[in-house]
Chain A
Amino acid sequence: MVLSSIDPALLLASLIVASTPILLAALGELVVERAGVLNLGVEGMMITGAICGFAMAVNTGSPLVGFVAAAAGGAILALLFALLTQVALANQVASGLALTLFGLGLSSLLGQGYVGIKPPPTTRLDLPILSDLPFVGRVLFSHDLMVYVALALVALVWALLKYTRAGLILRAVGENHEAAHALGYKVVRIRILAILFGGACAGLGGAYLSLVRVPQWTEGMTSGAGWIALALVVFASWKVGRVLLGAWLFGGVSVLQLNLQAAGVAIPVEYLSMSPYLITILVLVIMSADKSRAPGSLGRIFHASH
């Protein structure tokens, strides 16, 4: 039986690694969408983050600098989107697509000299005692810093949205921008900040791919991860906790299919590689019936006439 060659502890540990990029990107997009903006450029921001982070990490020898650069790169690209949609009042769907096409081109241009290079290794953060626990230690407590940063970010965003005034204002802007504007909140400013946060998160997610998960640079290496992150937000019904669940589900599917490929199951590799995308469609089908959770002003252009 080929399946017996798959070690469950290792599988779960790599599931957490595999889910981190889409978790980060989806978390950022969730905040953007809760502010009422649909940014379809996640894929473009992710891949730009991937190359910015990779290039800086290789040049400085420090993965940490790489991650900071990736967040900055993603945010700068997101700023273009913010200018287009919030200042020039362009269509958000078209602008998001433009951002993805632009990001893919930009990243392959920036990445020309970096093909086939190994990035500096990101050190594992072995937590004393916890890492030595049987099973749980290997699954949960022997990862690199970014895994914990991502999880902390999930908790932080959840608490911010649920319990703070800033979170309430952000949600108000997303639910009804006219009303929020009438109350005196700076709709455009809040949305630009949300978009920048989303870009930084997507950039981090991309860098996690190029620095930890793969780890190397290849053109178009995100291969749809940004779009899966977008689907994840729908899957999560715009709720933070469910984004985490969804990311683990997708991480699990992609790890499982890789393991099946390695174990030599009698299904051609190409058909196994389709599975994350097919599962995404399946999940969308199951989850899309309930549209009521979507933020009220999602994707609508805001133009203050007064």
Chain B
Amino acid sequence: MLKLEKRPQPSQLWTWATPVLAVLITMVAGGALFAALGQDPVAAISTIFWQPLFGEFAFYYRPQLLIKGAPLVLIAIGLSLGFRAGIWNIGAEGQYIVGALAGAGVALAFYPAESALIFPLMVLAGALGGWAWGMIPAILKLRFGTNEILVSLMLVYVAEQLLAAMALGLMKNPEGRGFPGSRNLRQYDSAHNAELITGTGMHWGVVVALIAVIFAYVLLSRHLLGYHIRLAGQAPRAARFAGVRPARLVLFCLGTSGALAGLAGLFEVAGPAGQVSIDFNVGYGFTAIIVAFLGRLHPFGILLAGLLMALTYIGGELAQSNMGLPAAAIQLFQGMLLFFLLAVDLLTNYRIRLVTKEVA
């Protein structure tokens, strides 16, 4: 008979081995899924994981890795701070949208003036927009004791409606011949989040994402606030005795993750997406939850996990156009990854022992 025995300390080895194991299991299960859809499983998996990096058109796909990875890493870093402290912000998608709207709003307000100050102002507005949207669940939680999970999630739907209202109303391009969507910020030099080095996909969002990774690493390993965050998550009671103020953590975690998600939205709307449109958001805010867990809530882990997730997005698109694999299959694939990760995580905290039944 198998018996679970709690480890006194989480296993260091398994902490880092489980994400790899989960990815491998997902590849096998995903292969089975693709086979069930009538595709060659090996070809499908290699299209998703190999072709974008080393295939014939890799020069086109490699920059995409940074473009898609940056928002995922940026959002996931913010989420991981809260997840560590037991504060669950799952409304990053909404904060991402509001950040983009705030940033684009600044740009559109100044159009067509050209100034070097416009882009920094947009970045500030984007961060503030996301921060403000994240503060709503934080303040409601502190003031009224509402559940931040439900409130932050409800605000995603509110933000989506706000996005539609803006794309069809206030921010609609007056020269757009009646089509929904704002002016294209890529054609507005002062507001364009352009590639910094041509052909690499490197834009300001990538730079900020890398800074966020380093910032989060220093915070968690070297700073008292980071220690408090970890303590609050692992031993809430002990944390209170140690002088951790939970209210401050809630404000900090939800505010920071909101601001980072808002930044991700701003860099996306000013660069790769270019305009405020009804279908501007593509679910980065939700995928980032998977990224945060896959990266073990560790900044460097999140960086790797973000790149891997970006790869599945790109590979998924490739498999869609080359093999006719449905887009939903990739979404399912990403969901499966989180499932397997949570399941094999058992090995980190528990030891599986084979025991013979004792005779009474």
Contact = CB atoms under 8 A, between A and B. Distances in A.
Contacts of B164: 270
Contact of A106 (B149, B165, B335): B335
Given A89-B346, A303-B4, A109 B155 contact: no
Nearest to B90: A97
Interface string B127-163: 0000000000000100011110111011111100110
A231 interface: yes
Contacts of B326: 108-109, 112
Contacts of A277: 154-155, 157-158
Contacts of A80: 339
Q: Is the interface of B mostly helix, strand, loop or mixed?
A: helix
A22 B233 CA distance: 32
Contact of B342 (A94, A224, A288, A291): A94
A136 interface: no
A168 interface: no
B276 to A, nearest CB: 13
Nearest to A304: B4
A280 B157 CA distance: 11
B252 interface: no
A289 B342 CA distance: 32
Interface string A85-125: 00011110111011001111110110010000000000000
Contacts, number: 134
Contacts of A285: 140, 144, 146
Contacts of B328: 105-106, 108-109, 112, 219
A260 interface: no
Contacts of B293: 94
Contact of B161 (A88, A102, A273): A273
Q: Is the interface of A mostly helix, strand, loop or mixed?
A: helix
B150 A234 contact: yes
A93 B88 contact: yes
Contacts of A157: none
A298 to B, nearest CB: 11
Contacts of A219: 328
A227 B256 CA distance: 24
Contacts of B327: 108
A230 B150 contact: yes
A164 interface: no
Interface string A264-293: 000010110110011011001110110100
A5 interface: no
B290 interface: yes
A83 B340 CA distance: 11
B6 A105 contact: no
Contact of B157 (A40, A89, A109, A274): A274
A33 B90 CA distance: 20
A109 B335 CA distance: 12
A159 to B, nearest CB: 29
A78 to B, nearest CB: 13
A270 B161 contact: yes
A40 B165 contact: no
Contacts of B336: 102
A270 B154 contact: no
Contacts of B147: 234, 284, 288
Contacts of A274: 157-158, 161-162
B286 interface: yes
A84 to B, nearest CB: 5
Contacts of A90: 342-343, 345-346
Contacts of A88: 342-343, 345-346
Contact of A288 (B4, B146, B149): B146
A281 B162 contact: no
B340 to A, nearest CB: 9
A98 B342 contact: yes
A305 interface: yes
Interface in A234-264: 234
B6 A281 contact: no
A109 B349 CA distance: 34
A93 B155 CA distance: 18
A281 B155 contact: yes
A4 interface: no
B338 interface: yes
Nearest to A83: B343
Given A89-B4, A108-B328, A101 B343 contact: no
B131 to A, nearest CB: 18
A229 to B, nearest CB: 10
A113 to B, nearest CB: 10
Interface of B: 4, 6, 88, 90, 140, 144-147, 149-151, 153-158, 161-162, 164-165, 168-169, 286, 289-290, 293, 326-336, 338-339, 342-343, 345-346, 349-350
6 contacts: A84-B342, A101-B338, A105-B333, A106-B328, A108-B327, A288-B146
Interface of A: 40, 80, 83-84, 88-91, 93-95, 97-98, 101-106, 108-109, 112, 219, 223-224, 227-228, 230-231, 234, 268, 270-271, 273-274, 277-278, 280-281, 284-286, 288-289, 291, 303, 305
Q: Top 10 closest A-B pairs, CB basis?
A: A102-B335, A105-B332, A105-B331, A270-B165, A108-B328, A109-B328, A90-B342, A98-B338, A101-B335, A277-B154
Given A105-B331, A277-B157, 14 more contacts: A84-B343, A93-B149, A94-B338, A97-B90, A101-B338, A102-B332, A224-B154, A228-B154, A230-B150, A270-B161, A280-B154, A284-B147, A288-B147, A303-B6
